Structure 1
């Protein structure tokens, strides 16, 4: 698969992350498929989804490209951490496989370049989830078809902030030739538009659209503090 077709499909548009954390009532395959259907009905250009079963179900039932990943664990490199995880997601039907491309060691001893090469051989594209400018430049040189700001603020040493890291979006967009995807803490349509203005090729929104548990908790917290 060439990058051109998926890149055109998502250019200037919204990707909806249809995921739920462990223990959340929404973490059920048919529920996540319904979320993806709702995203499609609302005009999303693509869906980001976690785990082979969910990726396969959405790819089968929703007429949108799937950006697939496999979260395994919750510390260190856990977003599609090994070549095995990446190939499972590609075989499940993901058009694009998203994987951690930070400079931290991978559990199987592979490099990001190893993972990207294996995914390309399997017929899918690769999205590098990074936390810094240097990581994004390196990933683009190692075969990433897209670079995403997913991990900024979630890796030690990166800026902790309430909103999206639009400075990273802008700096990556100026530094790499592959499409840059803005992801992470985008909470409003205005922030999504600003991400495009700062150079993003497309924008991923998750919690603000597909996480009723987290959204409910925000309101409860605010009302509790007011009492």
Structure 2
């Protein structure tokens, strides 16, 4: 616990959830909810204005999703910790959020005590993962690695899209970034999945993290 209250921004596009979380957490003596936000863009602005200790971040939101907002906050406010609280516990969402810089990941099934403990732990700079998320990460780590780089014969565009998948971008964001249609993005992804033998987007993220990102720095 810190000497001053933990400053917290609560982000969720659902008003009832957002307001309930804000009221519930603000009742704790050591937590001060300094702002709320309804989407990722508002979250980034709130973090800029208030420089909170922790941002409690939803993932599926309009304007800018939680993954994109997490990346921007961690880039511009490195002293602010992002703790994800979402209904999604699939491999793709978990990996994308953690890669974007989130220090914790909980599902909305968590009760008040668990969320409060997670906020306090995150404020101390420690990682917080729900048991289910931990199990999923361990299962991912135990999976065989994707094929080695020399076995792939990707086109330049497929390689570029694979790198963007590794950055946590979803299909609409990739289409906007490359100025191509979402249908074209899906076609490229289907082709690279077939070539690489990926069974899920999580496989592509793991491969990109292991091979692609290092190569793109050269």
TM-score by length of 1: 0.33
Point out the structure with the larger helix share: 2
